Structure 1
Amino acid sequence: MAKTPASTRPNAASTFSMLGADTVITGNIEASADLHVDGRIDGDIACNALVQGEDSRITGSIRAETVRVAGSVSGTIAARDVVILKTARIEGDVSYDTLTIEQGARLDGRLSPHGGQMPPAITQSAKPAEAELVLTPTK
């Protein structure tokens, strides 16, 4: 599916940044680009789309249109579309419009559907209706 550029910059819709496994960032990241993180981030992330690698660790809140989590996250996730892969370990609340969780993923927090509203950066405002999901491994 072709994307329409969001600005007059050439290739604005296909802007992509990758943080390798040897990268450690302490501080907040704000980007209009899509991010792929294989390293470690100690800070909040705000971007268009986030893809997290299996060995990656993020300590801080994540706010994006789409988030794909495969590593470790200690913080709140707020996105329209959230995919939590089986290798993911999340300690924090997840606010979403659509949610996919693979069997084997671990989540220690609350799941909150937000009905199409992109939530503001982690605020103290009233939370929307909450849903709880408990994953139990079967053998």
Structure 2
Amino acid sequence: MTRSVIEEDLTIEGNITSKEGEIDVKGKVTGDVDARAVDIHPSGRVDGAISAETVNIQGVQSGRIKCTELSLEKSSDVKADVSARTLISEKGARLVGKVQISGN
């Protein structure tokens, strides 16, 4: 499995796909992200849709999220319509949008 890191000083405009890989976002992505796992760090921002098996957000995301497992840390700020099987949210996490949790 590959891990791709978008560093803090990097801005990507366009879609990112890594079907079997993990993507760590420390910088900014304007576009859709499709991977096995997506981790948005506190300094990271994604303006676009995320499609992944697991999504962990500590930073900012706006768009749409479709995943199996979604984890929102206390520093997360999400404005998205969410479709997930499970959701874990720390106290202080912000989520605005339509949320659909299907369970197991």
TM range (shorter): over 0.9
Q: Alignment length, in residue pairs?
A: 103
| Cα distance between partner residues in 2 of 1:41 and 1:78 | 17
Gaps of 5+ in 2: none
What is the TM-score normalised by the length of structure 1? 0.71
The structure 1 residue matched to 2:87, chosen from 99, 103, 120, is 99
Moved beyond 6 Å, runs of 4+: none
More deviation, 32-41/107-116? 107-116
Greater relative contact order (Cα 8 A, min sep 6): structure 1 or 2? 2
Deviation at 1:114, TM superposition (A): 3.5
Deviations 1:20-67 (A, max 9, x none): 001100001111211111000000000000111001111000000000
The structure 2 residue matched to 1:81, chosen from 52, 64, 69, is 69
| Cα distance between partner residues in 1 of 2:68 and 2:94 | 20
Higher strand share: 2
SS in 1 for 2:5: strand
| Cα distance between partner residues in 2 of 1:89 and 1:40 | 14
What is the TM-score normalised by the length of structure 2? 0.94
Query: Identity rate of aligned residues, in percent?
Result: 35
Gaps of 5+ in 1: 1-13, 117-139
Aligned CA-pair RMSD? 1.1
